[in-house]
Amino acid sequence: MNKITLIIPIYNEEQHLLKFITKLDTLELQLEKELIFIDDNSTDTSYSILNNFNFKSKVIIFHQSINQGKGSAIRLGIEKASGDIIGIQDADFEYDMSDIPNLIQPILDDKADIVYGSRFMKGNHQVHRTFHFLINYFLTLMSNLFSGIYLSDMETCYKFFKKDIIKNIELKSNRFGFEPEVTAKIARLKIRIMEVPISYYPRNYLEGKKISWKDGIAAIKHILFFNIIYSKGTFFKKEIPDDFLPKDRNWL
Q: What is the DSSP string of the chain?
A: --EEEEEEEESS-TTTHHHHHHHHHT---SSEEEEEEEE---SSSHHHHHHHS--SSEEEEEE-SS---HHHHHHHHHHH---SEEEE--SSSSB-GGGHHHHHHHHHTTS-SEEEEESSSTT------HHHHHHHHHHHHHHHHHH----S-TT-S-EEEEHHHHTTB-----TTTHHHHHHHHHTTS---EEEEE--B----GGGT----HHHHHHHHHHHHIIIIITTTS--B-TTS-GGGS-S--TT-
Q: Domain of residue 97: give its range.
A: 3-244
Domain contains 30? yes
pLDDT at 246: 85
**Measuring CA to CA, which residue among 97, 57, 59, 102 is closest to residue 77?**
59
CATH number of the domain that residue 157 is part of:
3.90.550.10
pLDDT at 204: 58
Average pLDDT for the chain: 90
Tens digits of residue pLDDT in 140-178: 999 999 999 999 999 999 999 999 999 999 999 988 799
Q: Record the pTM.
A: 0.91
pLDDT at 206: 45
Domain contains 149? yes
pLDDT at 216: 77
Tens digits of residue pLDDT in 227-248: 988 766 679 998 999 999 987 6
Domain contains 42? yes
Domain contains 250? no
Domain contains 251? no
pLDDT at 88: 98
Lowest model confidence (mean pLDDT) among 30-39, 203-212, 231-240: 203-212
pLDDT reading at 126 higher than 90: no
pLDDT reading at 184 higher than 80: yes
Domains held by the chain: number = 1
Domain contains 203? yes
204 vs 101, more confident: 101
Lowest model confidence (mean pLDDT) among 22-26, 59-63, 235-239: 235-239
Domain contains 249? no
